[in-house]
Chains A and B, each alone.
Chain A
Amino acid sequence: MAPTPEESTLLQALRNGDEAAFALLVDRYHGQLLRLAMAFVASRAIAEEVVQETWIGVLEGLARFEGRSSLKTWIFRILTNQAKTRGVRESRTVPFSPLGNDDADKPSVDPTRFLTSGYFVDHWASPPTPWDEATPERLLLSKECGQRLEQAIEALPPAQRQVLVLRDVDGLSSEEVCNVLALSETNQRVLLHRARSRVRRALERYLEGDASTP
């Protein structure tokens, strides 16, 4: 994945010292970088520092950037490297195995939702119900729902949160995510699956009241 034509133009402008080009880059990625940094380190304040260190790393690396990846992937990789170093320094536990140990065997849906015997074993005993809020816009119209969604993402184990934020919140492709987080395609998909399943459960709990699932 080489830089896009737009990125090549931007890169040239940056190397020429074009301030507007740098401002554009900062405005475009700062928020996404901050969200990702928060998936690595323990506090918002440290995450802010990591993002600032990332931008400095970008400036220092510009001359050396060879364009073997897209500019975006390169910037996000600088952030993950900074964040990992920082995470270790802050002695926050970074999962040893790439998949982490969290809920490795945990099912995607609470097992009590399925029939446990008979011809229809493992089919829905209490099936999902339709949500009234049929579009994301209507769903997030309620500020509280947006907060619940943010909380559910924050509560994820770090490795799951990192993948989910990049894929579903920031909209990176699976290939880009594997690149940024140095994950295999399979591990990326497993983490994404666990994370999405958990967030859906959290939304279900919120939208349908706490009666349905633990």
Chain B
Amino acid sequence: MTREEIRNRVIDCLAGKVTCKSFTEAVTDYLEGNLSVLDWVRFQMHLGLCLGCRLYLRQMKLTIRAMGTLPEKPIPADVRAELIRRFRNWKNP
């Protein structure tokens, strides 16, 4: 085997059988840091080569961040006042 062939065999072996579909199923494990080192390297290599999966990852991160910026449900003033009243009663039964 030439050096080139050996190099390609090593890359093939490291790359494993990562598909785009398998990336979309593993994206949460990827983001949560729950992959084995080998799987992480494989997905990392796949991402380097695959624009579609990079876009998928970007969409997923954007979706997550967008959920984090959703406005909070406001507390109605009368509910808040009632809760404070309850606290007073609790304090001085």
Binding site for B on A (CB under 8 A): 17, 19, 22-23, 26-27, 30-32, 34-35, 48, 52, 55-56, 59, 107-109, 111, 114, 121-124, 127-131, 133-137, 139-140, 146, 149-150, 153, 164, 168-169, 171, 174, 189, 192-193, 196-197, 199-200, 203-204
Closest 9 A-B residue pairs measured CB to CB? Answer: A127-B52, A31-B72, A122-B19, A193-B28, A124-B52, A17-B91, A122-B21, A136-B66, A168-B67
* In the complex, chain B residues 63-86 whose Cβ is within 8 Å of any chain A Cβ: 63-75, 79-80, 82-84, 86
Q: Which residues of B contact A168 (CB under 8 A)?
A: 64, 67-68
A59-B87, A196-B28, A200-B63 given; A26·B80 CB < 8 A: yes
Chain B residues within 8 Å of chain A by Cβ, number: 45
Chain A residue nearest in CB terms to B55: A128
Residues of chain B with a CB closer than 8 A to A27's CB: 75, 80
Q: Is the CB of B75 within 8 A of A26?
A: yes
- B63 contacts which chain A residues (CB < 8 A)? 196, 199-200, 203
Chain A residues with Cβ under 8 A from B41's Cβ? none
- Is A123 touching B32 in the complex (CB atoms < 8 A)? no
Chain A residues lying within 8 Å of B25, measured Cβ to Cβ, are 107-108, 193
Contact B55 A129 (CB under 8 A): yes
Q: How far is the CA of A153 from the CA of B63 in the complex (A)?
A: 11
| Residues of B with C-beta under 8 A to A124 | 20, 50, 52-53
Tell me the total A-B contact number using a CB cutoff of 8 A. Answer: 139
Contact A128 B75 (CB under 8 A): no
Instruction: Assess the A32–B29 pair: CB atoms within 8 A.
Output: no
Complex-state Cα separation, A146 to B64, whole angstroms: 13
Chain A's closest residue to B69 (CB) is: A136
- Complex contacts, B64 vs chain A, CB 8 Å: 168, 196
Contact flag A23-B84 (CB < 8 Å), given A122-B19, A130-B55, A130-B58: yes
* Residue B88 lies at the interface, judged by CB distance under 8 Å to chain A: yes
In the complex, the answer to whether B86 meets A59 with C-beta atoms within 8 Å is yes
Write 22 A-B pairs (CB below 8 A) sorted by A numbering. A22-B83, A23-B80, A23-B84, A30-B79, A31-B73, A52-B83, A114-B21, A122-B21, A124-B52, A124-B53, A127-B51, A128-B56, A130-B58, A139-B62, A150-B70, A168-B67, A193-B28, A193-B29, A196-B27, A196-B63, A200-B59, A200-B63
